[in-house]
Amino acid sequence: MSVIELTDATFDEQIAEQGEGITVVDFWAPWCGPCRMVGPVIEELAEENTDVRFGKLNVDDNQTMAQRYGVRSIPTIGFFKDGEAIGSVVGAYPKEALQDVIEQVKAGKAETA
C-alpha cells in the first residue's frame, strides 16, 4: 500500500475515510535530517502492513494540522484508530520499534508518548 500525501485541506477527510482501522501519519519537513531517515522506513512499513493506512504531512506547508495534534518536534509519528488520534511517538524510531508500536495499536494496547 502506498503512503498518502496529506494536507490541511485533505487531512480530516483522508483520516475519516479510513473508517474503522488504523492510520499512521508521519509529520515531517524536507529540511529535517531525521525525517529523511524515517521516510523510507514509513514506506517499508506501508508495504508490509497492508491492513494499516499510512500518510505523510509536511508540517511546513500544513501548520494547522501540526498544531491541532501538538506536533512540536519532528519527526512525529501519529497513530489514529477509527479516525481518532490515540497517540504519537517523537524521533527517528527504527523500523522494528515502529512496527512494535503498530502491533500494540492493533491490539488496543498502545501506550504512546
Active site residue 10: no
- The confidence band for 18, taking pLDDT boundaries of 50, 70 and 90, is low
- The confidence band for 16, taking pLDDT boundaries of 50, 70 and 90, is confident
Active site residue 32: yes
Cell of 106: 492493533
Q: At residue 19, does pLDDT exceed 70?
A: no
Secondary structure string (H, E, C) spanning 16-73: HHCCCCEEEEEEECCCCHHHHHHHHHHHHHHHHCCCEEEEEEECCCCHHHHHHCCCCC
The catalytically annotated residue of 32, 45, 59, 105 is: 32
The catalytically annotated residue of 24, 35, 38, 41 is: 35
Give the containing element (helix H, strand E) for 96: helix 95-106
